[in-house]
Structure 1
Amino acid sequence: MTTRIVPLIAFVCVLLGLIAYSKWDEGPIRVSGFIEADEIRLGSRLGGRVAQVHVEEGQEVTADMVLVELEPYDLLEREKELELSLASREAEYRRFVAGYRPEEIAQAKANLAQLQARLDLLRAGPRKQEIEAARARLSLAEAERRLAEENEQRLTKLARSNATSEQERDAARERLEAAIANVEVRRQELALLDAGTREEEIREAAARTEQAAQALLLMENGYRREEVEKAEASRDAAQAALDAIRKQKQELKIKSPTDGTVEALDLQPGDMVAAGAPVLSILDRSNLWVRAYIPQNRVAVKVGQTLPLSIDSFHGEVFEGVVVFVARQSEFTPSNVQTPEERSQQVYRIKITIQDSGDRLRPGMTADVWLDSIGESK
């Protein structure tokens, strides 16, 4: 009986020792996760009808590669219209900056000289020779009047003796009346010359001369600063409108912002897309990272800390990752995460960026984050 109990006791002792050892040495601490990449959802601020689709799902793309093109509709016509408007505003602005042409200034000078000469003429009044000529014309008119008067009197006497006809007498009377009127005209002409130029005419001529002088000064000084600034602002407004149209044209071509892989694309030429709505998504494989969850007793991990990573697809190779995010609040362990700790415990989400992956890793690969260098929190 004793011989049978001793081996049983020995077996039980060995079993208890193994259980105690397993509890004492839990092995390396690690958490599992999946490699992920940033998803970039691309679209256009304009929207419209799809003209061409240049890529397919799963295709590798490079930065600035055109993925989808939309139809321009009336953007080309609006761009041409704004280009012509800008050219007009630019020409107007250059005209204001350059000022008046030399020919325009010379014309203004000639007009001023003409008006100044007219003013000087009015101020000087009639010349002596003009007055003498007017007197001579008056003397001639008076002589003609006297001759016509003598002829009319002679014919009147002849008519009394029936020596002349009534028609000749009437003609002589008319010539006398014309001579009298001519004398009055010549007398008034002489009176005007003797009186000289009226003051109103001189003031009018002086005003026109001053107006011409100011117009010449305006041309010589050029346009006002405010006018130049207004023309410049109008030119800049036209340029801004044209730039806006050209940016809208750029939105017609949906380009890749970085190297990556087309993940989701369901477009065909002719499809309508809404403005600002995503039309395809790209995975940015240049920045791979692991999402993992650590238990509460491992919250000593800090942002910026380097941790070793192991990837199932590269057995025996160790990669390095840098912690870039640690959640501030805990959550229940997700169903697809395995840790050596009890799954009923709450965990903290962390994000580890993979360093120097060498373009060998792909999103979706499983990865283990080793926490040996992180002390256990009490």
Structure 2
Amino acid sequence: MKKTLILTLLIISTALLLPACDVFASSEDGTGPIQGSGHIAAREVSVAPELGGKVVEINAAEGDPVQKGDVLIRFDNEIYKAQYQQALAAVGSAEAAVETTKAQLEAAKINYDMAEQGVRYQEQPARNANWLVPQPEAFVLPGWYYEKDETIAAAENEVSQAETDLATELANLDRELANASNADLIAAETRLAEARATYSIALQTLAQTQAAQDNAKLEEIAQEQVDASLSELEAAQLDYDLMLSSTAYNDVLDARGRVAVARTRSDNARDALDQLQTGEDSLQLKAAAAAVQQAATGVSQAEAGLEQARAALQVLEVQLAKTEVLAPASGVVLARNLEVGEVAGAGSAGLVIADLDQVELTVYIPEDRYGQVQLGQSATITVDSFPGEKFEGTVIRIADQAEFTPRNVQTVDGRKSTVYAIVISLPNSEWKLKPGMPADAVINVGP
């Protein structure tokens, strides 16, 4: 894997120190070039990691020149490497999950096609017979008049109404059975029902003993049970018959009859609906369609999981790259605040670099020459370290407000004077000019 080294920096542009500067000298008539002195200053960059950790390598000391992009600090990255491998494996697992769910989706689609083919084949006889089925005489419209979905909707409505009516009749029966005046009838009904059940089982048992080998004793015992259950059945039936002339009997009989009819209506309505749910409306095909939808959802979820795994991997790639801190600019190391083996916190300044490619010189002009200085004017700078050599600069900033002469001016009268700060920018590709170096400047303001 090719590492992408991402510089993690907190670049703090420090205010240029106002060095000891002389107020510019000028000719007595206030014309001609403006001269003055100051000290070279450079933009300082604080290099700090975004991720904390143990320092394992520092490649620059104070005073060392560095180039933009140089690796200055390395942190222990073993944990990040392990996490990266884990995230890489998670991506592979997520990719496999996507392929698996896609295969499941294809299988579900095939099953749907097979189900559709099957239900249409099953429906073919019904389609052929639709026009041949005789209609009730009360039907004025022909059988083909309504669309299938309309017929199904009507059948569903009939199922709903039939179930509602059945629930109503069951409630009516419960009220009749709960009526205290019907207690004797209910007891007789219960006794008769139990006697019928006992007698039926006794007959079944007798038939089994008659089919057995060496069954004489078995048949004798089974016959005794049949006789006893028959006697109870006859007694229960007699007891029940005595109730037939009572009002309670008629009420309960009517309630039970209504329940039986309502239940049959409900069953018939469901059967009619089931017969209509063929072809595309069959439950089998709907189940196959639901399986396709579920498989498609599985694919979407797997793809989302893959994107999440890839995002996690990308985060680890970034974090791994951030364990190497690169130089943001070419310059000279002014300060080194870390040593190998130390644990640095995120955001703590490890190195301070002075950007020497472009330096500045701040000088001050008297108030009566302020109007003669303009942005972009050229200036010539000389330094004692390179006698006879001139450096060209440009006025890049003119103060908007006046200030008193810096306090390091020697005379009281000089300190009481108001002046304006002028900042001159100088290209310094060869790094000859160093921070703090005294310099003299002449601003070319014209004749």
Matched, 1:284 2:289: no
Which one of the candidate residues 244, 266, 276 is aligned to 2:315?
Answer: 244
| Residue pair 2:357, 2:428 contacting (<8 A) in 1 also | no
Give 5+ residue unaligned stretches, structure 2. 1-26, 129-214, 224-266
Counting only pairs closer than 5 Å after superposition, residues 84-163 of structure 1 correspond to structure 2 as: 84-92=89-97, 100-101=105-106, 103-110=107-114
Query: 1:61 is matched by which residue type in structure 2?
Result: V
User: Closer, same or farther in 2 for the Cα pair 1:44/1:337, shift >3 Å?
Assistant: farther
Q: 1:276 is paired with a residue of what secondary structure? A: coil
Task: State how far apart, in whole Å, the 2-side matches of 1:295 and 1:24 are.
Answer: 13
Which stretch of the first structure deviates more once superposed, 114-123 or 255-264? Answer: 114-123
CA contact (8 A) 1:122 1:202 kept: no
Q: Could you give the per-residue CA deviations for residues 178-229 of structure 1, whole angstroms, max 9, x where no partner exists?
A: xxxxxxxxxxxxxxxxxxxx966786587597233234456778966x8766
Q: Does 1:255 align with 2:260?
A: no
- Measured after TM superposition, the shift of residue 242 of structure 1 is 2.8
- Tell me the CA shift for residue 57 of structure 1: 1.5
Letter aligned with residue 361 of structure 2: V
SS in 2 for 1:245: helix
The answer (yes or no) to whether the contact 2:358–2:428 under 8 Å persists in 1 is no
Flag the 1:338–1:78 CA change in 2: closer, same or farther, 3 A. Answer: farther
* Residue of structure 2 in register with 1:65 after alignment: 70
1:312 is aligned, of 360, 376, 384, to 384
Q: 1:293: how far off?
A: 1.9
Deviation at 1:115, TM superposition (A): 6.5
> Which one has the largest radius of gyration?
1
Deviation at 1:60, TM superposition (A): 1.5
Does the CA-based 8 Å contact 2:123-2:278 persist in structure 1? no
Distance 1:348-1:93 versus aligned 2 partners, 3 A rule: farther
**Which residue identity lines up with residue 328 of structure 1 in the other structure?**
D
Q: Matches of 1:337 and 1:263 in 2, distance apart?
A: 28
Aligned to 1:267: 338
**Using the alignment, how far apart are the partners of 2:289 and 2:437 within structure 1?**
83
**Distance (Å, rounded) in 2 between the aligned partners of 1:66 and 1:284:** 16
Match of 1:77 in 2: 82
**How much does 1:104 deviate?**
4.3
Q: Which runs of 5+ in 1 are unaligned?
A: 1-21, 125-165, 175-197
**Partner amino acid for 1:290?**
L
Q: Does the 8 Å CA contact 1:99/1:219 hold for their aligned counterparts? A: no
CA contact (8 A) 2:44 2:353 kept: yes
C-alpha distance after superposition, 1:238-273 (max 9, x if no partner) = 333332232222221111012111111132222121
Q: Which among 41, 54, 60 is matched to residue 55 of structure 1?
A: 60
* Number of positions where the alignment pairs a residue of Structure 1 with one of Structure 2: 286
Residue 366 of structure 1 corresponds to which residue in structure 2? 438
Q: What is the identity, as a one-letter code, of the residue corresponding to 2:406? A: P
CA distance in 1, matches of 2:286, 2:52: 58
Cα distance in 2 for residues equivalent to 1:219 and 1:281: 64
Distance in 1 (CA, whole Å) between partners of 2:422 and 2:304 is: 54
Q: What is the TM-score when the length of structure 2 is the normalising length?
A: 0.52
Cα-Cα RMSD? 4.5
Deviation at 1:283, TM superposition (A): 1.1
Q: Distance between the aligned counterparts of 2:410 and 2:384, measured in 1?
A: 15
Which secondary structure state, in structure 2, belongs to the residue aligned with residue 299 of structure 1? helix
Matches of 2:362 and 2:394, distance apart in 1: 12
Partner SS for 2:379: strand
AA at the equivalent of 1:213: L
1:299 is aligned to 2:370? yes
**What is the alpha-carbon distance in structure 1 between the residues aligned to residue 399 and residue 103 of structure 2?**
66
